[in-house]
Chains A and B, each alone.
Chain A
Amino acid sequence: MKTNTQLTSIKTLVALSLATLFTAGALAEGVRYEPKPAASKCTITGASGDSFMSHDWTMKSPMISGYIEADAKFPESALTDAATAKPTVHVKIPVRTFKSAKSATMDEKMQLMMSVTNCPNVEYRLIELKPKSKAGAVGALHFEAVGTLSIAGKTLTNTMLVTIEKKADTLTVKGSAPVKMTEYGITPRVSVPVLGDISIKDEVKIDFEWQLPKKAATAPAAAPALAK
């Protein structure tokens, strides 16, 4: 037979255990960030390879889709406990959305060079995020991102420096990655009317700014009405 004191202790223990469980659940629960249209940009910058006619060129895409899933305190948490904070990052940019704003014909040629038909997206998946800012830093935090970058159907490990900042539940990720086209099996050469084949320098730079608001929680479905 249990006394009132014992019962009270058991109730307290159960309550505490439940509270702990709920808290732990909340901490473990990831937050998903998804980009909104027109809030991101990715730029590929390169130069033509002909020294006589050399000039810089750029192609821009306003469409970076994908998501980041991380703990609620990301990115600050990734400075102190990278393993726990380890975010899941998947980036997808349709090749067709890269435009030069100068010539649609040239855009198409560049897109074909990137094998748009067989590999319609440039994709990136994060493997590891190594902190470069000190623990406790605020604002735009610096990391070294190690991930896989897939272009024209070839996937290679890529390492680049990025900054991640959270403001008003929106993550802003900025970065820059030098890429050699030949490493991805791309022949840096396009055919241009009148001028013929133009070689392009192998090294290009990919700059991006990716904004991802926190995905709003889906409201529970309303109970169906029982009466007319």
Chain B
Amino acid sequence: MNQSNDNAADFNRRDFLKGSTFAAMMTMMGGVQLMTPSASAQTSPPPDAGPKVKVAVIGLGAWGREILDQLGRLEKAEIVAICDNYPAMMRRSATKAPGAKQVEDYQELLKDASIQAVIIATGTHQHKDIVIAALKAGKHVYCEAPLAHTVEDARAIALAAKESTAQVFQVGLQGRSDPQRHFLLPFIRSGALGKPVMARAHWHKKQSWRQASPNSDREKAINWRLTKATSPGLIGEIGIHAIDQAGWFFNIEPVAVTGFSSTMLWKDDGRDVPDTVEAVIEFPGGIRMNYNASLATSFDSENELLYGTDATVMMRQDNTGSKAWMFKEVDSPLLGWEVYARRDNFFNETGIVLAAGSSKQTALIEGAQTQQAPPAHYHALKAFLSNCNEVTAAVADFKASYENADKQALADYVLSLKVGQTPDRPAAGYQEGFVATVLALKINEAATTSKRIEFKKEWFELA
């Protein structure tokens, strides 16, 4: 594992204050939103320059269709093809991508040279073959998280992506692209929470996870999440995001996990994947994260909490986008700007809003509380398309400039661009995706076997 590769790895309080000085000053002068320019983009995205990217979506289940919805909002997306081998899914998706070619076989789709990028939203166990074929076909690839349902498949995908240096490979860890979370990152890493104490996250949705189909073979295929042979479980499918985020925010790597799981509600439908899981993830210095997820209760939906000795941050996601609040300890030092920030009450706690539109005045004037912001995966897809354009242009420029240059020189040049690491187009690459996937799979293993697992460094290393 290597969090230190992150370009935003090192923050200090001075850096954070430098970045927020203008916003704080304007807040005092008259109530401008207390936010970073990137956070402002969340509510009024600037027009995108550059050509449209011809993109195809492979896998048209509920999440694939959600991706089509978000692509439809993105100026740079031109959906030229959709792909699924289940006609019902294709029919449901057709209206979301009018004019797009409908292809049943992904290998046929990859032969289309006009398609620049593919977004893979199939079952997790199907990712490997499709990703590797897409990279071989020269496509930019966005692969949903987790990368795979086994460590071996995840490694194969990450290695193929690593070798495809002239293409973009992005993993659907959308929190890594969310401007709201990038606003929080320097705040948390600069020590505004004091000394990290612990983290807690949960995801509760009372639902079966089962999809209906009149055909028994098809039903088995579309319910791949309910079978251990093909499913990384609740931790792999859902928990991967919150667990990745905790390590990212605290900039630390977990060392061990103890897990538990049970099937509390959906006992009689033949599944062998638990509907309720819990894991205690250990980090260095005695910091632990408690994660639980359940399909048997909906109470409190989902949230993530990062506790520090001076303050705790709570992050939540709803239909108005990603939100965060800070809860200060009574003996914590005054940061200054929080005096002007908006506050929300949670039972007998008061949360200071850490979000776009967070000043008291703006909330009164603009009704910022009800403003709908795009979800995190909108930003992840936007970054992907922009990065596709950047790499496509870079490769073309390089080849035009250096006719006789070798492949390694081109790879070095593309790497030097640090695509996906610019503040306004951040994205999780193969390294982050691989580490998060291995971590989630091992935590899922701990949960399903009720064991304590100590992480070995070599599990997270790519050959």
Provided the pairs A37-B405, A102-B423, A108-B49 are in contact, do residues A193 and B40 lie with their beta carbons within 8 angstroms?
yes
User: What does the 1/0 interface line of A94-119 toward B look like (CB < 8 Å)?
Assistant: 10110101111100110110000000
By a beta-carbon cutoff of 8 Å, the part of chain B in contact with chain A is: 37, 40-41, 44, 46, 49-50, 386, 390, 393-394, 397-398, 400-402, 405, 409-410, 412-413, 416-418, 422-425
User: What does the 1/0 interface line of A156-178 toward B look like (CB < 8 Å)?
Assistant: 00000000000000000000000
Among candidates B386, B390, B397, B418, residue contacting A63 with C-beta atoms closer than 8 Å: B397
Provided the pairs A37-B398, A104-B422 are in contact, do residues A193 and B41 lie with their beta carbons within 8 angstroms?
yes
Provided the pairs A108-B49, A109-B49 are in contact, do residues A37 and B422 lie with their beta carbons within 8 angstroms?
no
Q: Are A108 and B50 in contact (CB under 8 A)?
A: yes
Residues in chain B near residue A105, CB distance under 8 A: 46, 49, 424
Let me know if A62 is at the binding interface, CB within 8 A: yes
Let me know if A92 is at the binding interface, CB within 8 A: yes
Q: Are B402 and A65 in contact (CB under 8 A)?
A: yes
CA distance A140 to B379 in the complex (A): 50
Q: How many residues of A are counted as interface, with CB atoms below 8 angstroms from the partner's CB atoms? A: 25
Among candidates B37, B409, B425, residue contacting A38 with C-beta atoms closer than 8 Å: B409
CA distance A65 to B277 in the complex (A): 57
CA distance A73 to B46 in the complex (A): 54
Residues in chain A near residue B401, CB distance under 8 A: 37, 63, 65, 92, 94
Interface positions of A from 9 to 45, Cβ below 8 Å from B: 35-38
CA distance A149 to B248 in the complex (A): 47
Residues in chain B near residue A193, CB distance under 8 A: 37, 40-41, 44, 46
Among candidates A65, A97, A103, residue contacting B394 with C-beta atoms closer than 8 Å: A97
Among candidates A35, A37, A195, residue contacting B413 with C-beta atoms closer than 8 Å: A37
Q: Are A104 and B409 in contact (CB under 8 A)?
A: no
Let me know if A194 is at the binding interface, CB within 8 A: yes
Provided the pairs A38-B416, A104-B424, A104-B425 are in contact, do residues A194 and B394 lie with their beta carbons within 8 angstroms?
no
21 contacts between A and B (CB under 8 A): A36-B402, A36-B405, A37-B398, A37-B401, A37-B405, A37-B412, A38-B412, A38-B413, A62-B416, A63-B401, A92-B401, A96-B393, A96-B394, A97-B394, A97-B397, A101-B418, A103-B424, A104-B422, A109-B49, A193-B37, A193-B46
CA distance A37 to B40 in the complex (A): 38
CA distance A94 to B401 in the complex (A): 8
Minimum CB–CB distance from B437 to chain A (whole Å) comes to 27
18 additional contacts (CB under 8 A) given A35-B402, A112-B49: A37-B405, A37-B409, A62-B413, A62-B416, A63-B401, A65-B400, A65-B402, A94-B400, A96-B393, A96-B394, A101-B418, A101-B422, A104-B386, A104-B390, A104-B424, A105-B424, A193-B40, A193-B41
Minimum CB–CB distance from A92 to chain B (whole Å) comes to 7
Chain A residue at smallest Cβ distance from B45: A193
Residues in chain A near residue B46, CB distance under 8 A: 105, 193
Provided the pairs A103-B423, A108-B50 are in contact, do residues A194 and B397 lie with their beta carbons within 8 angstroms?
no
Q: Please give me the 5 A-B residue pairs with the lowest Cβ-Cβ distance, nearest first.
A: A65-B401, A94-B397, A108-B49, A37-B409, A193-B46
CA distance A172 to B401 in the complex (A): 18
Residues in chain B near residue A102, CB distance under 8 A: 422-423
Residues in chain B near residue A36, CB distance under 8 A: 402, 405, 409
CA distance A133 to B50 in the complex (A): 46
Minimum CB–CB distance from B336 to chain A (whole Å) comes to 21
Residues in chain A near residue B397, CB distance under 8 A: 63, 94, 96-97
Minimum CB–CB distance from A36 to chain B (whole Å) comes to 7
CA distance A101 to B402 in the complex (A): 23
Minimum CB–CB distance from A215 to chain B (whole Å) comes to 9
CA distance A105 to B402 in the complex (A): 27
Minimum CB–CB distance from A104 to chain B (whole Å) comes to 5
CA distance A101 to B423 in the complex (A): 9
